[in-house]
Structure 1
Amino acid sequence: MCSKKSLPLHSCDTLWDLAIAEVEKRENPDDDDVKPGEVWEKSILFMGNKNGGKTTIILRCLEREESPKPTLALEYTFGRRARRPNTPKDVAHFWELGGGTSLVELIRIPITSHNIRSFAVVLVLDLSKPNELWTTMESLLQVTRNHVKRVLTKLERTNPEVAAEIKEGIWNDLRRDHPDYALVDPFPIPLLIIGSKYDIFNFTSKSEALLLKARAVINHLAFGYDKSKSVSVDPSKPLFIPAGLDSMSQIGPPPASDSDLGKMRANTPLELWKKVFEKTFPPKSFCDLQDTKDPVQDSQYAEYEVDAMRAQKNQELEQYKRNASKSWKEMDFDSS
């Protein structure tokens, strides 16, 4: 991730001096990770609920006026931006995992030891499906975490310095004096969680403003744009909480009676929140979340010649099955 070095400022600086320094910093950023003339290259994997809005977010980030289409499996696109005029354009690789949790093993394709240092994950959770939310989040993040750990283990053998740098970097957003420091098990690579379809719960739609805010954070991950410094923890409004700027004491206990909380066995605050959440919204099983629809039957992928040939092959297969079944039944097996 690209860090910006600011010019030294003194207490005697005027507002004009501060403005000049800010302009100079933006026009001539001193990037620690990118040398002059070098291309910045990042990768982001979008995953989450099926039909949760991942494609819409990607299109808005890339400023593409297209109608989103359902993602079949694992799709790829890219965007290019120049940090400054007359400089090489940086590249951001956007991967999107379709099918909810049914195709989670495909994450092994985009996340490799070659790009792990510049990789980030965006998890998009559909707020209109609370009964799927926690199961989807837990399944996708656990599989991704395990895969990233395997990649880092492999990287420790081939490039231990880079592996150590990645492991140290995951703590950058959390100060050692943070009250929850001992409780936190940070995700091994940058992670952004977006709750989509928030506007469904409001009489006045705020989807446009929320998309712009999500776009700003994703642009930071993809192109090194400055981080948003805004924070919103008011539960009556859309939450916006950068990593490291909340705490369990600020969040408070789950909304349940003391007697109910006392009956729940949990080793961590997160486990306690999970139990209360799932009591309110009984989760769907992992099998229920599997996408059983056959993409071959999807009308958006219809092609006459291909479909006609497939129908013929299906008929041949069924005839083969009947002949094979008949021949097996007619065989006289030795029972001795």
Structure 2
Amino acid sequence: MLEKVEKPTHQQETIQDIAVRLLKEQVCTLPIEKIPKEQTIFVLGSKCVGKSTAINKFFDREYTNPKPTLALEYSYGRRSQKQVLNIWELGSLKSSSQLFELPLRMQGIEHFSSVLMLDLSQPQCLWSDLEEAFNGLKKVSDQMLDSSDDGVRERYRNRAAERIKKNHNEISTLDLQPFPIVLVGGKYDLFIDQEPETKMHVCRFLRSVAHLVGGSLLFYSSKLPKLAKTLRDTFNHLGFGSPTNPFRSHTVDFNDALSIWFGTDSWDNISNAGPQYLKDIGAELNKHVPQLQVNLNIEPVKEPANDAGFREGIIDEMRSQKMEELKLMLKQLDLRVQFENVGLPK
């Protein structure tokens, strides 16, 4: 007589399921000091503002003419076996909304910070670049927080408050973000010769934005060693925790290179306008420094890569390879998130 064989009540485990299960079983026995501490910095902003140059200088890579960034570039560095820094660079803000998600989700908000670089030599583009970059970051982080429980959201709110000094008397007027934002005014060497009135309103705009989001503000030029070193030290601070405060001075004079650390500015010191929302800050800049308006209703431009008249063998191959790499990263994202959500020993 044949014995009855019971069918399994659950689907067969995949390799990914097994990997996650084994991690959960082993992580409780892993000494906490053996677990690498990873941080992620997302560098984005105006096109050709010097993002790649700043990253290359941080990694001591000297390129006379760095190649343009295609889509999303990744680099990493180690200070020791226990400290790893991941740096993502977004090449262009245009049509890149889906690329904001990868750097944020790979390590999670807790280990994430952003360096937002704007081109001071193009003051008429400051608002459009700032708005596009900030809205992209905020959209993804808000989605992540919405899917978190109340305790997690409260923890991020407390950390944001601690970043700007928890007893800051203007904290109720700020739109604090759950991760550090360093606002960088790039190409300062070309900004020096702008009209004093333009410099005053641009500096007021950037200070207002940085203060509103609980960020810090730094002017930068790769051609000015002192400013280049400060930005490099800032990368070190965000990635490895030292130096404690890479901004060696507090500078708010619009005739000089601004240097304002987290929580050290105030609405009263910026202007007599008082607390403002982001849109109001942008509108105020537009009154004095007219901004280029982005027309969202124009017909989409045809993709040159799909036009036979624009085919370039080497470039098309590089672009195809880059897109395949990004697709693979996105496929692996869900698995990475599962691993990151496994509880570590206290």
Partner of 2:8: none
Q: 1:35 deviation in Å?
A: 5.3
Distance 2:94 2:165 in 1: 33
Matching of residue 126 in structure 1 with residue 129 in structure 2: no
Q: Which of these residues, 104, 108, 119, is aligned with residue 101 of structure 2?
A: 108
AA paired with 1:118?
Answer: H
SS in 2 for 1:92: strand
CA distance in 1, matches of 2:242, 2:252: 23
Q: CA deviation at 1:114?
A: 4.7
CA drift at 1:65 = 1.5
* CA deviation string 1:127-180 (max 9, x = no partner): 111111111111211121121011122232xxx654432232111123354342
Distance 1:192 1:304, change over 3 A: closer
2:285 is matched with 277
Aligned match of 2:242: 225
Task: Label 1:35 to 1:207 Cα distance change in 2 as closer, same or farther (>3 A).
Answer: farther
Paired letter, 1:70 = P
Kept after mapping to 1: 8 A contact 2:121/2:187: yes
Does 2:137 correspond to 1:144? yes
| Structure 1 counterpart SS, 2:177 | coil
Aligned partner of 2:188 in structure 1 is 198
Q: 1:163/1:101 Cα in 2 relative to 1: closer, same or farther (>3 Å)?
A: same
Worse-matched range after superposition: 282-291 or 120-129: 282-291
**Local SS of the residue matching 2:185:** strand
Q: 1:216 maps to what in 2? A: 233
In proportion to residue count, which structure has more helix? 2
Mapped to 1, the partners of 2:180 and 2:157 lie a distance apart of: 11
Matched residue, 2:179: 189
Aligned counterparts, 1:1-336, within 5 A: 36-66=33-63, 67-82=65-80, 88-112=81-105, 114-156=107-149, 161-202=151-192, 207-226=224-243, 227-228=245-246, 230=248, 231-253=250-272, 268=276, 271-287=279-295, 294=304, 302-303=313-314
1:314 match: none
**Alignment CA distance shift 1:282-1:79 (3 Å):** same
- The separation in 1 between residues aligned to 2:43 and 2:144, in whole angstroms, is 19
Tell me, what secondary structure is at the counterpart of 1:199? helix
Letter in 1 for 2:233: A
Aligned to 2:341: none
Partner-residue secondary structure (3-state), 2:234: helix
Structure 1 letter corresponding to 2:161: W
The higher radius of gyration belongs to: 1
> Equivalents in 1 of 2:174, 2:269: separation in Å?
15
Distance 1:271 1:209 in 2: 33
Task: Give the fraction of aligned pairs with identical amino acids, expressed as a percent.
Answer: 29
Alpha-carbon deviations, 1:252-278, whole Å to 9, x = none?
247xxxxxxxxxxx9827554422311
Q: For the residues of structure 2 that align with 1:40 and 1:184, how far apart are their CA atoms?
A: 30
Alpha-carbon distance change, 39 to 242 in structure 1, aligned in 2, over 3 angstroms:
same
Deviation at 1:190, TM superposition (A): 1.1
Q: 1:99 and 1:112 mapped to 2: Cα distance?
A: 19
CA separation of 1:48/1:292 partners in 2, compared to 1, >3 Å: closer, same or farther? farther
SS in 2 for 1:59: helix
TM-score by length of 1: 0.66
**Tell me, which stretches of 5 or more residues in structure 2 are unaligned?**
1-30, 194-220, 319-346
Structure of greater relative contact order (alpha carbons < 8 Å, 6+ residues apart): 2
Distance in 2 (CA, whole Å) between partners of 1:304 and 1:246 is: 46
What is the distance in 2 between the residues matched to 1:100 and 1:276? 23
Cα distance in 1 between the residues matched to 2:306 and 2:106 = 34
> Cα deviations across residues 189-213 of structure 1 (Å, max 9, x unaligned)?
1111100000113479962221111
Q: Secondary structure at the match of 1:284?
A: coil
Distance 2:107 2:84 in 1: 16
2:74 is paired with a residue whose SS is strand
Name the CA shift for 1:215/1:291 in 2 (closer, same or farther; >3 Å). farther
Alignment-derived partner of residue 6 in structure 2: none
Q: Evaluate the alpha carbon distance shift between residue 249 and residue 155 of structure 1 in structure 2; reply closer, same or farther with a 3 A threshold.
A: same
- Assess, with a 3 A threshold, how the Cα gap between structure 1 residues 246 and 183 changes in structure 2: closer, same or farther: same
Give the CA deviation at 1:112: 1.2
State how far apart, in whole Å, the 2-side matches of 1:40 and 1:270 are: 34
SS at 1:110 equivalent: helix
TM-score by structure 2 length? 0.64
